[in-house]
Structure 1
Amino acid sequence: MTTTTFAPMPDANGFFGPYGGQLVPPHLKQAMDDIAAAYAEVTKRQDFQDELAQLFADYVGRPSPIFHARRLSDQLGGAQIHLKREDLNHTGAHKINHCLGEALLAKFMGKKKVIAETGAGQHGVALATACALVGIPCEIHMGQVDIEKEHPNVTKIRILGATLVPVTRGAATLKEAVDNAFEEYLTNPTDYLYAIGSVVGPHPFPMMVRDFQSIVGREAREQFQAKHGKLPDYAAACVGGGSNAIGLFTAFLQDAGVKLVGVEPSGEGVDKPGRHAATLSVGKPGEIHGMKCYVLEDAPGVPAAVHSIASGLDYPGVGPQHSYLKDIGRVQYEGVTDQECLDAFMRLSRVEGIIPALESAHAVAWAMRVAPTLPKDCNILVNLSGRGDKDADYVAKLLGI
């Protein structure tokens, strides 16, 4: 699968500059190398590429359109906001893009079970969907807090036939779900595939998930150019682990005129430890879940408690390629608070009739913040990574609607 990259990334050892790698126990390194070898093989097989392309078109509904949010843009004044509508994909988010790839890879490798973590539940739903499609048992680990918060997705995961494993330890959110899923995977890495839900973890996952998600940026670049005769001035996306953002950014990395913006959750404020998840904004290089990346830590090797109103963003680490892109200055990373996110969620819903996922609403909020400061002929492309069905009841209760 052809991808456009800013530089040869990662290297043969899975590093993006100083970030990434395979920080795993010796007995697990062989399993990671086997996955990397299988992935390298399937990317060269035309039958695999044809099957994935056919599923993207006929199952997911790709290409997803770009929508000009005219009413929102007019109300804000200034720049024009455009939305890459990943929320219109089957299962309601960008997650299906890499889940289909991972499920097909598991089938190719003869795996007997696929294991994954989920925060907001979108990765869980998408992977349960993909596994149902290819006929492989699926096990989803999810924090108890998120289970209660994202009930609609929990129901879908069960309807699709996946086994849901509640995780009650610690903060009982995404980081603990990752820990739990990884421990289960370690019991039988020969027969299981851990289908990581973002561009995080040991090599080859940050590369592999990026490659599957890069279809978002390739489509968006071609669509915007065809419609407007030029590229957008800004391309923005929310960042937790960072899969939807790297999927959008990859196609634009070599376009110096396109400013790339990753939007992190500032939560209740970056000055409040444990009440935000702005990893790239205030974190430091460290290690977590088999990779080197920026991490929010209480002490070396001890991840900090994190918070975001969006369950899919409350993670104390971030993808290693994002860490590298921050250091070289190619991507600017900004923060959006819970309140700004809620405001964007409601405004997009009531002005454009589009209910966004709380994760995606972070990117919308950043666009709403900067649009009035920019000229009217300036274009901001936002990756609307998911729809807000899963969040509607939670937000309605929170706001008393």
Structure 2
Amino acid sequence: MSYNVNEEGYYGEFGGAYIPEILYQNVEKLRKSYLEVMSDPTFQEEFQQLLRDYVGRPTPLYLTRRLSEKYGAKIYLKREDLNHTGAHKINNTIGQILLARRMGKTRIIAETGAGQHGVATATVCALMNMECVVYMGATDVARQKLNVQKMEMLGAKVFPVQSGNKTLKDATNEAIRDWCSNPSNTHYIIGSTVGPHPYPDMVARFQSIISEEIKKQLLEKEGRDYPDYLIACVGGGSNAAGTYFHYLSDDRVKIISAEAAGLGIETGETAATIHLGRKGIIHGSQTLLMQTEDGQIIEPYSISAGLDYPGIGPMHAHLAQSGRAEVLAITDDEAIDAAFELTALEGIIPAIESSHALAVLGKKKFKVDDVVVITLSGRGDKDMETYVSLFESRQGK
């Protein structure tokens, strides 16, 4: 079975390009050119040079000591939190802005939830001297104030979105409306493996530097280029897609995705799209979608601003449906416990998104010689207000 996108833009029955007519020319031009541009040696030379000298790649593959002892396996962390801007998002924004420049675009728009993609987009726009507009749900603006301040300092205009539950879905809606109004000069840098084809595949390819490095680093550290387990969090799914990309057809590698259960998948306050979703169309692609019987989107909830999306990238819908990936729903409390545990045992404060992946350790049994790689997709600076309030309440302050 193939786990990559086909020529029509589908992963199995998920994917496609369901777009307004006004965007057809833009999306079609991107579809026809992205693979050719990405394989151009001059493009790759500039992309790789920026990843190395600006982003700081390769990121370390760190063998934990105390975490490994606790869970009885060799647990490695792929340290995407050590990238410039503090997350994996920069890998994709560097690639997309180079692509946009080649296509003659002069204005960049983006959506953001946790703010990490917004910061990464604002960063590369400053680097390339391009106008930058970022749409962010008003709820996320309030809980990710530090990232909003960073975006504004970098020169981006941040628009708080007041519709819906004022989070990532609503920010994406507004970004698409903007794109429809400004199709000629604007490129939409989508931050995850969502949206119309070719975005899910294009973003996965830009993020595949993660699994490319894991292969080289494991060969050096373990004498083999594959782990027994790959674990990553999924919202839209870009860090997970990058982590899995070069291992999709390697049956020796078990893939585990952690999605946000919120208060629990039975509570209605959840973002466990793969567990609860049915096939539907959102933001230009057919995927699993949390929806009512008559097709109205159910508003998601998660303590994590980056995982509360009612859909999922079509690649991840296919990986789950085909059985290639095991998907675990991680509650807010389980994620926070995992974050505090990593902080206490290894001196690393993770993003709340990544903490969902870390929580998988408490739900699986490993053999002592198992090699487990968890992608730490971002660092916890942006989540400190949430962490501090929870930490103080647990300390009885």
Paired amino acid for 1:208:
M
Q: Which range moved further: 184-193 or 294-303? A: 294-303
Q: CA deviation at 1:9?
A: 2.9
Q: CA deviation at 1:300?
A: 4.0
Q: Where does residue 184 of structure 1 map in the other structure?
A: 178
Please report the TM-score for the alignment, with normalisation by the length of structure 1: 0.95
Q: Where does residue 209 of structure 1 map in the other structure?
A: 203
Which residue, 371, 386, 389 being the options, matches 1:394? 386
Q: Residue 89 of structure 2 contacts residue 116 of structure 2 at CA under 8 Å; is this kept in 1?
A: yes
**2:308 aligned with 1:314, yes or no?**
yes
Q: Where does residue 374 of structure 2 map in the other structure?
A: 382
Q: Residue 38 of structure 1 contacts residue 105 of structure 1 at CA under 8 Å; is this kept in 2?
A: no
For 1:173 and 1:396, locate their aligned partners in 2 and report how far apart those are by CA, in whole Å: 22
**2:330 aligned with 1:336, yes or no?**
yes
Paired amino acid for 2:272:
A
Deviations 1:333-353 (A, max 9, x none): 111110000001111111111
Q: CA deviation at 1:133?
A: 0.9
Q: Residue 140 of structure 1 contacts residue 164 of structure 1 at CA under 8 Å; is this kept in 2?
A: yes
Which residue, 254, 276, 290 being the options, matches 1:259? 254
Q: Which range moved further: 21-30 or 62-71? A: 21-30
Q: Where does residue 263 of structure 2 map in the other structure?
A: 268
Q: Residue 22 of structure 1 contacts residue 29 of structure 1 at CA under 8 Å; is this kept in 2?
A: no
**2:87 aligned with 1:87, yes or no?**
no
Deviations 1:256-284 (A, max 9, x none): 111001100011000012x1111111211
Q: CA deviation at 1:8?
A: 7.2
Q: CA deviation at 1:81?
A: 1.5
Please report the TM-score for the alignment, with normalisation by the length of structure 2: 0.96
Task: Give 5+ residue unaligned stretches, structure 2.
Answer: none
For 1:8 and 1:43, locate their aligned partners in 2 and report how far apart those are by CA, in whole Å: 20
Q: Residue 3 of structure 2 contacts residue 248 of structure 2 at CA under 8 Å; is this kept in 1?
A: no
Which residue, 163, 188, 197 being the options, matches 2:157? 163
**2:93 aligned with 1:99, yes or no?**
yes
For 1:302 and 1:192, locate their aligned partners in 2 and report how far apart those are by CA, in whole Å: 30
Q: Where does residue 137 of structure 2 map in the other structure?
A: 143
Q: Where does residue 23 of structure 1 map in the other structure?
A: 18
For 1:62 and 1:53, locate their aligned partners in 2 and report how far apart those are by CA, in whole Å: 9
**2:32 aligned with 1:37, yes or no?**
yes
Deviations 1:183-204 (A, max 9, x none): 1111011111111110000011
For 1:246 and 1:171, locate their aligned partners in 2 and report how far apart those are by CA, in whole Å: 27
Q: Where does residue 233 of structure 2 map in the other structure?
A: 238
Paired amino acid for 1:259:
K
Q: Residue 221 of structure 1 contacts residue 252 of structure 1 at CA under 8 Å; is this kept in 2?
A: no
Q: Where does residue 354 of structure 1 map in the other structure?
A: 348
For 1:46 and 1:333, locate their aligned partners in 2 and report how far apart those are by CA, in whole Å: 37
Q: CA deviation at 1:294?
A: 0.6
Paired amino acid for 2:31:
A
Task: Please report the RMSD computed on the Cα atoms of aligned residues, expressed in angstroms.
Answer: 1.3
For 2:392 and 2:164, locate their aligned partners in 1 and report how far apart those are by CA, in whole Å: 29
Q: Where does residue 3 of structure 1 map in the other structure?
A: none
For 1:47 and 1:235, locate their aligned partners in 2 and report how far apart those are by CA, in whole Å: 32
Q: Which range moved further: 383-392 or 321-330? A: 321-330
Q: CA deviation at 1:77?
A: 3.7
Task: Give 5+ residue unaligned stretches, structure 1.
Answer: 1-5
Which residue, 208, 213, 226 being the options, matches 2:220? 226
For 2:242 and 2:121, locate their aligned partners in 1 and report how far apart those are by CA, in whole Å: 18
Q: Where does residue 116 of structure 1 map in the other structure?
A: 110
Equivalent residue pairs, number? 392
For 1:158 and 1:129, locate their aligned partners in 2 and report how far apart those are by CA, in whole Å: 10
For 2:368 and 2:3, locate their aligned partners in 1 and report how far apart those are by CA, in whole Å: 36
For 1:44 and 1:152, locate their aligned partners in 2 and report how far apart those are by CA, in whole Å: 37
Q: CA deviation at 1:80?
A: 2.4
Q: Which range moved further: 343-352 or 223-232? A: 223-232
Q: CA deviation at 1:396?
A: 0.5
Q: CA deviation at 1:301?
A: 3.4
For 2:193 and 2:71, locate their aligned partners in 1 and report how far apart those are by CA, in whole Å: 35
**SS at the partner of 2:17?**
coil
The list of structure 1 runs, each at least 4 consecutive aligned residues, that deviate by more than 4 angstroms after superposition, is none
Which residue, 361, 368, 377 being the options, matches 1:367? 361
